[in-house]
Each structure stands twice: as structure tokens, then as C-alpha cells.
Amino acid sequence: MCGICCSVSFAVEHANRDLRADLLYNLKQRGPSSSKQLLKCDANYQCLFSGHTLHLRGAVTAQPLEDEGGNVFLWNGEVFNGLKVETQDNDTRIVFNCLSSCTNESDILSLISKVQGPWSFIYYQASSHSLWFGRDFFGRRSLLWHFNNLSESFCLSSVGTQTSGVVTQWQEVPVSGIFRIDLHSTATSKCVILKLYPWNSNSGEKVIQECVGSLTQISANLPKFVSVEASEAKLYLENPIVPLNMILPQGPFETHCTDISRGPPTRETLQVCLNTHMREVVQQFIDVLSISVKRRVLCLPRDESLTPDEALGTRGRKANIAILFSGGIDSMVIATLADRHIPLDEPIDLLNVAFMTTEKARPARFNPKKSKKKNHCEFAFEECSPNPAAMADDNPDTRFNVPDRVTGRAGLKELQAINPSRIWNFVEINVSLEELQKLRRARICQLIQPLDTVLDDSIGCAVWFASRGIGYVAAADKVKSYQSDAKVILTGIGADEQLAGYSRHRVCFQKHGFEGLNKEIEMELGRISSRNLGRDDRVIGDHGKEARFPFLDENVVSFLNSLPIWEKANLTLPRGIGEKLLLRLAAMQLGLTASALLPKRAMQFGSRIAKMEKNNEKASDKCGRLQGVSLENLSIEKR
């Protein structure tokens, strides 16, 4: 994880030689290991490069990097596959060395196409006075652009800034492909022309049609003096995933497990879905997802100085990996697979966030009317969870017994049963309304921007507090304060989008069948960059930590894309089985129990942040709470 920025000025006599204090602060938060700036001046333009590195691989490598030819490179990413990066290597330097050897546009595109993993980058090619930049196919790393209204300057940055009362002019760089700007011609014409090199997902005329569509869509959101054009040579990047399998069942859809469509979901009824073919598919899925998790938990430095016997006796060893953890099926499967690959002596932090409820929690079984509507698997969690009614009425922790806290504690017991030798740090992160409002105004609002809906506010705030990792851990019958120092945070995002996990998928299936569901899933994956990933990267990166997304590994996505839809989800089956069916079967094969049957519960509802301040809001409404204050104003407030 890094904070990267390039500020370009064409009115050189008025150019700034440093970044704004608030922007510099935001960037430094992302890269605590090193900070460095580099100024490149030309008669027609000036580029200020600013790099802030979170060290995770190889030797500490300060950015920006510059080679003998005057090329400059800023990299915020991880190479998990495609290029050869040894354990002792730094991937930033590997990618830059490869770029430096490229002699033309085609070479650069070929290189970028090979990289598997999350990335955003900025590359100044001195010989052609070109600035290349972009984000990976899914947009797993944030990159924003901001164009000055006077066409005198523009800025690319991992994170933007916000001034109170001013509409943000930062926008997320689209993931349609990578871009190139000719700085010389821009300085002369006073018009910014963005050359787009799109991802190639088809061939022939359809590629051209898709590119024209992308150009129109991107241009619509830019100032009039900025235009987007396709490269003259019609060059493109190779798509890193296989196309989505859109095949439909022949004739009426029937499966051998349709007889379980009635009654509450149980492990036994889920077992019925495992015929010989599905057992093979499930094992293939486990294998490819396990490799994805392995790459993401082993690519970081560890303390290897202790012998295994010494390490097992060292209870104070810190966790290198944390998981955003609700006890739901996505986080449970990730935790189970991470346990396979992380050294046994190393703890794993399970980050569980809860927002203070206004009413004291009561277990559902004390509410006869509500209990009739309960799903069977929810009872299973309540039975193995602490009874809130048994706690003292004046115990403030009862205010944080939100649904994700209950399922999280139950999930912890499942993981402890699978591997009792592992230290599982279940970090209870409790957030009051006062703390939420204070830190949203001071920090979170400017990280969520340019997104601005009520949903962005709820999820962005929840993820920020969870990834900060400050809370409590119960150990040896005592509760102690705890702060997670893990630099890498695994998250389950991508599972719902690919495996029909949202309630809207069930509605779509009921209206339009498998054909409509296929189109919905295709759309979900296509918009995940603008709806989720850039925001989550900015929010998690603010703590000097790196988000990693196992379900969005290129090989995982390609495997899931290759399957017919009914092998991934069967929405003729009830909640708790039909959605994310493939993942539930995998969870059962991995030894998980009640969590394999948990219905989907969105983070904003499970953590109880939704409706915490206003009850009449819709998720898609613009959120006025995201209009925060700048660091300068905040410092005045503190005085």
C-alpha cells in the first residue's frame, strides 16, 4: 500500500513546488515507511511526484523511483502473479525495471497486461514527454484525478482532499483501461487529451464499439477542456479474466436438490446438493481460492528469528494478518483458508465492529412474535453466543450486542474448534455515536469522497473503524485493550457480486430468470470499482494498512466466470442455501458448521451503523454528513 501523487503544472512560473498540506497529510497516512518527492521541470511543464510507501516486500524502496533515462515511477500495488518476483525482491523495482526496458507503447501494454494483482501507477516517460497512469481491471487500488478549471494544472493522487462547503472536484480514474497524456502537446494547446488504451474483452468491431462507449461515458464527467480519445494505433490491454459464462439451462430447470426448498436450512439439507460433479467443482473452487489466500498472506515480511518451539511459547507475538470479520460465510471461509497458510505460531486478528445501539440488546428468543420469523441457523448462533440478558443491566457492552457481534463470537468458536492451537484475536471494536461523528468529520468524509451516498457513508465509516483495529480482546477470562498492528487486512468483498449474494439478485431472478441473473452479475463485477473498491482502499489505507481481496484474484474470478450460473447459485432454494450455494458447499467441506447456513446480512445492518442517525434515509440518497472540514479548520477547532 502506498500513497502516490503527481501534480502537473503548465503555467510553470506559477507552479507550486510542494503539495497542499492536507493532501500531503492524507498521502503520508497511507505510506508510513518512507516519504519522498521529486520535481521534474521542462520548458513547458513541471511535474511534482510524491510517493509514500508502506513497506511489505523485499528491501525498503522509497518512491518515486527514477532511472538513468529520467523516467519516473510511482506504484501502489502488489504483483501476485504474471511477473517473476522472488521472496527477497521488491515488486515496485521489478515493475519499474521492466518499464524502463520498454521501447514503445505496445511493450508497455504487454507488460501491464501480464501483472496479476491490485495496482494503480503513474509513469513518466521522459523520452516522449508522456505521463502514463491507470488502475487494475477491477479497480482494487484507488487513483483520483483533478483538473484545474483554468486548464493550467491537473493532479493524480491515491486520495484527495475536501474543503468544507466546497463541492469536490476529485473523481475516480475509470478502470476502462490505462491512460497517456502527451505533456508537450497539452502545454501548447491548453487542452488535455487523454489517450485511452482499453481492456480487450472481445474482438473485432465489438472492441471498437465498447471503446467508443467508454470514451463517451468518461468524457461526460470531465471539464470541457479535457477530452478522451482512443490511441491511433488501436492498441489495447489483454483482459486478465475469461468472459462470463452466459449459458442457460436447456428446458425447465430442475436439480437433484429441489426437494430441500421447503423447511429451514440445515447442514444435512445442504449436503444433498453435493453430487459427484458438484464435489469436483467445490474442490476446484477451494483449491483456487486457497491459492489466492496463500499469495495474500505470505507476501509480507515476518520475524523468522524464533524457532518453532520458541514461537509456540511466545504468547506476545503480533499478528501480521487481520480479517474484516462478521462471522458470516465470506469472512469465515477466508479465515479458515488463511489458517492453512499462516505459520501456526502467528496469531490472526479478527476485526469485528459494532456501533452503539440506542436500546439494550435482547435475545430474539425472548420475543415470541419475532422468533417465529427467525431462520433456523440464526438460532444456532444464539445458542452458542453469550446471553445478553444474563449480563448486568449497567454493563455498557450490551449496547454493542449487534447482529455481527453475535455471529462473530459464534464464528470464533467454530474457528477455535477447527484449529485450537491458533491464537485467534477476536477484536471487539465498539463505536459510539459521538466518536463516529467526530472522526467522520475529521478524517473519514474526505476519504469516502468523491463518493457521496448514505450507503457510502455507512460502509466507509464501518470499514474505517474496523480496519483501525482499536478495541478489546477477551483472553484468560479477562478483557483487555488491544490494537491490531497487522499491516494486511483481508476482506470478503467480491463474493456477493459473483455468487448472487444480494437480495436484489433474488428479485432479479424471480423477474427475469437465469438470463437476467447473468446480466446482473456481469453488471455487478463491471461496476465494483466505482461502487466499492476505490473507497475501501482509501479508507483502509488511511491507517497505513493494505486491503487484499482474495475473491477478486484474477484466477478466482476466471474460475467462477467459467461456471454456469446454477453451479454458483440456485435461487429456487431458500435464503441460507440458494445464494452463494457454491461457497456454502465449500464452507461445509472445510468443516464449517452454522456459518455455512447464515443468510446474507449487509455490513451496515449487521454492525448497526445504518439508521443510527436518521431513520428515513435511503441508501442511494446524497449524504450531507459527508461534507466535512479540512485539516486546517480542524486544527482551529481543537484550539
DSSP track, 217-244: HHHHTS-TTEEEEE-TT---EEPSSPPP
Active site residue 41: no
48 contacts 80 by C-beta, under 8 angstroms: no
The torsion angles phi and psi of 20, rounded to 5 degrees, stand at -55, 145
331 contacts 443 by C-beta, under 8 angstroms: no
- Report CA-CA distances (Å) from 215 to 101, 121, 609: 30, 21, 38
State the catalytic residue, choosing from 2, 6, 273, 508. 2
Is the peptide bond preceding residue 450 cis, with omega within 30 degrees of 0?
yes
236 contacts 201 by C-beta, under 8 angstroms: no
210 contacts 186 by C-beta, under 8 angstroms: no
Q: Which amino acid is at 29?
A: Q
Q: What is the SS3 assignment for 264?
A: coil
- CA angle in degrees (0–180, nearest 5) for 210-215-220: 130
Q: Beta strand pairing status for 72-77 and 153-157?
A: unpaired
Those residues with Cβ within 8 angstroms of residue 502's Cβ, 6 or more apart along the chain or in another chain:
496, 579, 600
- Could you give the CA distance from residue 414 to residue 325 in angstroms, rounded to a whole number? 13
- Could you give the CA distance from residue 453 to residue 512 in angstroms, rounded to a whole number? 28
Taking the mean position of all CA atoms in its chain, how far away is CA 289? 16
Q: How many other CB atoms are found less than 10 A from the CB of residue 33?
A: 16
Report the first-to-last Cα separation within the chain, whole angstroms.
33
- Could you give the CA distance from residue 550 to residue 552 in angstroms, rounded to a whole number? 5
- Nearest CA-CA partner of 77 in 47, 105, 51, 102: 51
Q: In what order do the strands lie in the sheet with 153-157?
A: 34-41, 46-53, 2-9, 153-157, 144-147, 171-172
Q: Give the three cell numbers for residue 634.
A: 480542524
Task: List active site positions.
Answer: 2
